[in-house]
Amino acid sequence: MHSAHRIYEHLISLWAPGVIEAAHDLGVFAELSSGPRTSDQLAESCDSNQRAMRVLLDGLFAYDILDRIPSDSGPTVYRMPDEMRECLLPGGLFSLVGKIEYDRQLAWHSWRNLADAVRTDNRDASGDLQLNQITEHNYESLVRGINFWAPPIVAALADGFETFEWPTDRPASVLDIGCGTGLYSQLLLERFPKWRATGLEAPHIAPIAEAQAQRLGVADRFDVQVRDFWTESWGSDHDLLIFVNIFHLQTPESSLELLRKSKESLADGGLICIADHMVTDEQEAKPVQDRFAMLFAASMLATGGGDAFLLDEYDTWLAEAGLRRVAVLDTPMHRILLAGHA
């Protein structure tokens, strides 16, 4: 029965986002931000049934989201641990509220209809693979909810610079293509005070990146430009080009186009950094990064296009663009591919 138990664990994994997102929708986390509450108090403030609220809170306790504190002299009290506040409340640098909103807007429906996507694939009217079809509104929610990926990626990248003796103590021009909140280049600016960075983003995302640069104290060296990076110039002689979570939204053809534009913009001795979900061996998903990448590819299929490409595919595109792979670095969920001029 081991296999049945294992599959059952997978099938009930939807319970976790179910209780977390329900608590978010009801305002439970917002109420607990001001202090511990009993289930009856939360039921009243969240306009909910008392017994049902207690069941929800116990579910959150079971997942180690909330603390449950029994009392000999009164009702049980529920408390939100300090480490959960930045994750579950809006406004924190690593808040997951945007991810929760993205799930509510798009992901739940998309996963429910995955079989339809498998039948037809994500192709346009001509039969060609299409780019991911995430809307601007969904993207705005998601980009706010995945900042937590940044610190380990930036740490691994900085270690890579040191390992390969790539100079970081000199002035450098960083171009962050599709920068989102800009956190990756902003964290690099914190580490390397002689660097300057430019982020390319859409009009509705650029203000988020500008505000975050102010928050982190690097606004004087971080510039956001509203630019269509497919049709407009990226400039030239950039020392570091950054693509984070960009290539998994692409097709093979658009990936090659991005690398061709990269070659035109990269300074001699410069590096291209691609942080994304890459697969090293499609036969055996042994490394955790391969496992996550393969599941992430299923998510791309569900939500309208994209893939987790093989490292061999990246090598082919790099060669066609006149570039070469320099190194691959592992992070908890991503891989970092470093490339330069061939």
Mean pLDDT of 309-331: 97
Residue 142, pLDDT score: 84
Number of domains within the chain? 2
Q: Are residues 169 and 71 in the same domain?
A: no
Of 77-91, 100-114, 193-207, 257-271, which range is least confident? 100-114
Residue 174 counted as domain residue: yes
pLDDT tops 90 at residue 26: yes
Q: What is the pLDDT of residue 285?
A: 59
Beta bridge partners of 32: none
Residue among 263, 213, 275, 212 nearest 238 (CA): 263
Binning pLDDT at 50, 70 and 90, where does residue 281 land? confident
| CATH number, domain with residue 299 | 3.40.50.150
pLDDT over threshold 70, residue 71 = yes
Residues 160 and 276 in one domain: yes
- Given a cut of 80, whether residue 339 has pLDDT beyond it is yes
Instruction: Point out the domain boundary residue: 88, 105, 124.
Output: 88
pLDDT computed for residue 105 by the predictor: 86
> Residue 284 pLDDT more than 70?
no
Residues 319 and 194 in one domain: yes
Average pLDDT, stretch 100-107? 88
Q: Are residues 198 and 295 in the same domain?
A: yes
Same domain flag for 162 and 296: yes
Do both 171 and 40 map to the same domain? no
> Do residues 165 and 313 share a domain?
yes
Q: What is the pLDDT of residue 131?
A: 67
Q: In terms of Cα–Cα distance, which of 262, 220, 237, 243 is closest to 172?
A: 237
β pairing state of 67-69 and 77-79: antiparallel
In a domain, residue 42? The reply is: yes
Same domain, 312 and 231: yes
Please give the Cα distance from 18 to 53 (Å, whole number).
14
- Same domain for 42 and 190, yes or no, is no
Question: Which of these three, 71, 88, 105, is where a domain ends?
Answer: 88
Q: What CA–CA distance (Å, rounded) separates 108 from 302?
A: 10
Are 295 and 307 within 8 A, CB to CB? Answer: no
Tell me: pLDDT of 216 over 70. yes
Q: Does one domain contain both 261 and 327? A: yes
Per the DSSP assignment, residues forming a β-bridge with 200 are 177, 225
The pLDDT of residue 120 is 86
- Domain of residue 213, residue span: 136-341
Are 308 and 209 contained in the same domain? Answer: yes
3-class DSSP state for residue 256? Answer: helix
At 238-278, the pLDDT tens digits run 999 999 999 999 989 999 999 999 999 999 999 999 999 99
Is the pLDDT assigned to residue 144 strictly greater than 90?
no
CATH code of the domain covering residue 27? 1.10.10.10
Q: What angle do CA 293, 24, 333 make, to 5 degrees?
A: 15
pLDDT band, very low/low/confident/very high, at 45 (cuts 50, 70, 90)? very high
191-206: pLDDT as tens digits: 999 999 999 999 999 9
Confidence of residue 282 (pLDDT cuts 50, 70, 90): low
The answer to whether 241 and 262 are in contact (CB under 8 A) is: yes
Q: Give the C-alpha separation, 34 to 112, whole Å.
A: 36
Six-digit token string for 148: 């937590």
Q: Are residues 194 and 274 in the same domain?
A: yes
Computed over every residue of the chain, the mean pLDDT equals 93
